[in-house]
Amino acid sequence: MTPEIITSIAGGLVIILGSFFGFTKWMITKFLSELKPNGGSSMRDQVNTNTERLERVEKRIDDIYQILATRRKNTNAR
């Protein structure tokens, strides 16, 4: 093989590997940015919103159980 071919092959490999690592770095950066709150459109904000909604639903269910428990006590007392 001539030095030109070896240099071309090595250059091609460097370009391919550089592109792969650059793309990988870009993807990791993109995914990590989704995990930081940014005011509403990130995945982290959506998780926080769903967590708050779930906590409200759990509180409402607890309140319903309290109401039903007090009604049951009142009907048994009569």
**Could you read off the pLDDT of 27-55 as tens digits, one per residue?**
999 888 877 777 777 888 888 899 999 99
Number of domains in the chain: 2
Give the tokens for residue 42.
């990130």
The model's pTM = 0.52
pLDDT band at residue 77 under the 50/70/90 scheme:
low
Contact in structure between 34 and 44 (CB atoms under 8 Å): yes
DSSP string, 30-74: HHHHHTS--SSSSHHHHHHHHHHHHHHHHHHHHHHHHHHHHHHHH
Residues 18 and 50 in one domain: no
Average pLDDT, the chain: 89
Range of 7's domain?
A: 1-34
Residues 18 and 48 in one domain: no
Residues 27 and 44 in one domain: no
Residues whose CB is less than 8 angstroms from the CB of residue 62 and which lie 6 or more positions away in sequence, other chains included: none
Residues 45 and 75 in one domain: yes
Nearest to 34 by CA among 15, 23, 22, 48: 48
Residues 76 and 43 in one domain: yes
Residues 24 and 48 in one domain: no
